[in-house]
């Protein structure tokens, strides 16, 4: 299943329901620590708000440990869970949503709160810039110095990310690449199999 992530670090939108302002803040949060930091930032920015309710899938959709929500003082089940339900039915991951409420003087009731918090997230997701999440995997490559030029050309052609080069008796390269890039890299390395040592998540020689 294809997953998507927020295409920018921070995003914000706002709806007004019966004079209450519901400000939706969205961040790309690939892990729980980044989600916690984002929530703390919003709380500090809106310290006078009545509520800062939140929901998150701060990682992959398959990892239920990174799912969470909180009503932040609203009646139980009227804010965080409805917000999370909206995210759940999207294809998004690595996302944290905080809805800041400034009370407008009219009580909404439990059902009204559920609808308002759901609406705030739904409207934000309609216009949220997103990009497809592409998983990347580490690879390790050892090669003699006399073929460095050929291999460096191959790495650039495959557009892989090189994270480390270690020059010793031979050159040790560590990098990251998508599945598609790994396939291209392996094919390009075939003529050099007897001169190189290579390992990724699927293949080793």
pLDDT in tens, 100-152: 999 999 999 999 999 999 999 999 999 999 999 988 899 999 999 999 999 99
* Within-domain flag for 205: no
Pairing relationship of beta strands 51-57 and 67-70 according to DSSP bridges: antiparallel
* Within-domain flag for 189: yes
The answer to whether residues 62 and 149 belong to one domain is no
What mean pLDDT do residues 11-28 have? Answer: 98
Mean of per-residue pLDDT scores for the chain: 96
Rounded to 5 degrees, φ, ψ at 36 are -65, -45
* pLDDT value of residue 111: 98
- Single residue among 132, 155, 189 that ends a domain in this structure: 132
Gap between the Cα atoms of 154 and 185, Å rounded: 7
Rounded to 5°, angle at Cα 113 from 76 and 84: 65
* pLDDT value of residue 114: 99
The answer to whether residues 107 and 150 belong to one domain is no
Rounded to 5 degrees, φ, ψ at 30 are -70, -10
The answer to whether residues 116 and 194 belong to one domain is no
Gap between the Cα atoms of 35 and 94, Å rounded: 9
Radius of gyration of the chain (CA): 23
Q: Which domain holds residue 156?
A: 137-199
Work out the pLDDT band at 181, boundaries 50, 70, 90: very high
* Within-domain flag for 77: yes
Gap between the Cα atoms of 153 and 58, Å rounded: 37
The answer to whether residues 113 and 14 belong to one domain is yes
- Single residue among 92, 112, 132 that ends a domain in this structure: 132
* pLDDT value of residue 16: 98
For 52-95, what is each residue's pLDDT tens digit?
999 999 999 999 999 999 999 999 999 999 999 999 999 999 99
> For residue 2, is pLDDT > 80?
no
* Within-domain flag for 164: yes
């Amino acid at each position: 299943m294809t997953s998507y992530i927020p295409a920018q670090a921070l995003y914000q939108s706002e709806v007004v329901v019966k004079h209450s302002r519901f400000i939706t803040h969205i961040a790309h949060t690939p892990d729980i620590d980044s989600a916690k930091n984002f929530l703390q930032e919003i709380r500090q920015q809106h310290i006078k708000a009545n509520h800062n309710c939140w929901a998150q899938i701060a990682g992959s959709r398959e990892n239920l440990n990174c799912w969470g929500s909180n009503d932040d003082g609203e009646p139980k089940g009227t804010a965080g869970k409805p917000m999370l339900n909206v995210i759940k039915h999207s294809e998004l991951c690595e996302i944290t949503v905080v809805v800041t409420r400034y009370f407008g003087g009219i009580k909404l009731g439990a059902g009204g709160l559920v609808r308002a918090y759901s609406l705030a997230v739904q409207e934000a997701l309609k216009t949220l810039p997103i990009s497809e999440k592409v998983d990347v995997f580490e690879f390790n490559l050892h090669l003699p110095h006399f073929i460095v030029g050929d291999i460096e050309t191959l790495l650039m052609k495959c557009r892989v990310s090189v994270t480390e080069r270690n020059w010793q008796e031979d050159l040790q390269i560590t990098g990251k690449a998508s599945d598609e890039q790994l396939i291209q890299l392996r094919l390009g390395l075939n003529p050099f199999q007897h001169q190189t040592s290579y390992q990724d998540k699927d293949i080793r020689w």
